[in-house]
């Protein structure tokens, strides 16, 4: 990996984590009146995505979508204001953390309903095919979404119609508190199952920087060149509770050993050490961190000082 790529990936991972850490820090103040699903620990995948994707490409995501919105170039101020329920938010303060959208960068939405955004991403790929552009459509999903029927319909449709869609599965082992072992037969590989549906697949350790970066870059290029669907499965791990700002390791669904084992693999920490110790870039690392913190503080100030929506607008732009 080149030095500049290492620096870029560090900056991207650090920014995503700092933003989510700030959300966790401020959440107990009670001003963010929506659920939040943080992806602290999972930053490598959106960061390598961000390096390889174009603003014109489409992306959709899930309830755990902050990192994907940011990685696609979504506006930070509008995201934090949305979580604060303010009219300057990306969904005008009506959607909260689980309904992020930024049409300026073709980030087409996230959904609180598991699996709901998968067919939307496939539909966007169909629009690309019909309009004959060189865009691709990316669908972020968790391992839990694989258990929704709409996933199979969508993958099958993408395979049959040969659509330029990249499915990016972040397999963090759990669906809320249920491990894969109680949800799927022992030994099943999600990627192999999808391969059997006739779709090219790729698997990578989502803690391994080079492996994740290489697979993401190659796959984005491949979908763009061939116009065919591709499914990626990255192993990863969320540090915080399923929903909320705190940790939940004491409630018994995962062991402290498992948690610590994954935390020790943290690619952000390893990359920071590499930049400082191997490349002597301490000053640059400090600059990146202070720039990010200024940006994050400004976004929270923006959200705090923005107005709430007017009461008479309550039903405007509501489609359900
Ligand atoms: C259709 C539907 N079923 C159940 C839920 C409740 N629910 C919210 S998040 C979640 C877990 C999803 O797990 P996964 O897709 O692996 O994503 P993760 O939370 O691990 O990132 C569930 C079951 C829901 N929101 N929608």
Mean pLDDT across the stretch 167-179? 98
Ligand 1, CB within 6 Å, residue ranges: 63-64, 112-114, 142-145, 172, 174-176, 242
Report the nearest atom of ligand 1 relative to the CA of 115.
1
Best of 175, 177, 183, 253 for a ligand 1 pocket test (most atoms within 8 Å of beta carbon): 175
User: Ligand 1 atom 11: the closest Cα is on which residue?
Assistant: 175
Mean pLDDT across the stretch 118-123? 98
Report how far ligand 1's centroid is from the alpha carbon of 133 (Å): 33
Give the model's pLDDT for residue 214.
Answer: 98
CA 96 to each of CA 72, 109, 138, 160: distance values in angstroms, whole numbers, following the listed order: 18, 12, 22, 35
Average pLDDT, the chain: 97
Q: Is the pLDDT of residue 318 over 90?
A: no
Report how far ligand 1's centroid is from the alpha carbon of 121 (Å): 18
Percentage of residues of the chain with pLDDT beyond 90: 97
Q: Is the pLDDT of residue 41 over 80?
A: yes
User: Ligand 1 atom 8: the closest Cα is on which residue?
Assistant: 114
Mean pLDDT across the stretch 200-226? 98
Give the model's pLDDT for residue 319.
Answer: 77
Total Cβ atoms within 10 A of residue 191: 18
Mean pLDDT across the stretch 78-96? 97
Q: Is the pLDDT of residue 72 over 90?
A: yes
Best of 41, 46, 62, 63 for a ligand 1 pocket test (most atoms within 8 Å of beta carbon): 63
Report how far ligand 1's centroid is from the alpha carbon of 144 (Å): 6
Task: Report pTM.
Answer: 0.98
Please choose, from the candidates 110, 41, 87, the residue with its C-alpha nearest in 3D space to the C-alpha of residue 303: 87
């Amino acid at each position: 990996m080149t030095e500049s790529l290492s620096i870029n990936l560090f900056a991207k991972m650090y920014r995503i984590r700092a933003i989510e850490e700030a959300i966790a820090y401020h959440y107990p103040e009670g001003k963010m009146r929506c659920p939040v699903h943080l992806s602290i620990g999972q930053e490598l995948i959106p960061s390598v995505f961000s390096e390889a994707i174009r603003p014109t490409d489409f992306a959709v995501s899930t309830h755990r979508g902050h990192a994907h919105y940011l990685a696609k170039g979504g506006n930070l101020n509008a995201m934090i204001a949305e979580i604060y329920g303010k009219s300057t938010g990306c969904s005008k303060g009506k959607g909260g953390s689980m309904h992020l959208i930024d049409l300026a960068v073709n980030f087409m939405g996230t959904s609180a309903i598991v699996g709901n955004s998968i067919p939307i991403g496939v539909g966007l790929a169909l629009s690309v095919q019909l309009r004959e552009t060189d865009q691709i459509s990316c669908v972020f999903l968790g391992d839990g979404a694989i258990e929704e029927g709409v996933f199979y319909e969508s993958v099958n449709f993408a395979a049959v119609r040969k659509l330029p869609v990249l499915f990016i599965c972040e397999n963090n082992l759990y669906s809320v508190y249920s491990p894969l072992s109680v949800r799927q037969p022992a030994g099943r590989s999600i990627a192999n199952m999808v391969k059997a549906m006739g779709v090219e697949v790729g698997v990578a350790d989502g803690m391994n920087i080079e492996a994740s970066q290489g697979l993401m870059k190659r796959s984005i290029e491949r979908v763009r060149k061939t116009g065919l669907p591709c499914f990626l499965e990255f192993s990863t791990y969320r540090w915080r509770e399923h929903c909320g700002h705190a940790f939940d390791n004491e409630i018994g669904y995962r062991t402290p050993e498992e948690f610590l084992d994954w935390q020790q693999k943290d690619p952000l920490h390893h990359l920071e050490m590499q930049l400082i110790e191997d490349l002597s870039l301490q000053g640059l690392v400090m600059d990146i961190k202070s720039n990010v913190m200024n940006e994050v503080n400004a976004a929270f100030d923006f959200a705090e000082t923005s107005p709430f929506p007017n009461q008479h607008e309550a039903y405007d732009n509501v489609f359900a």
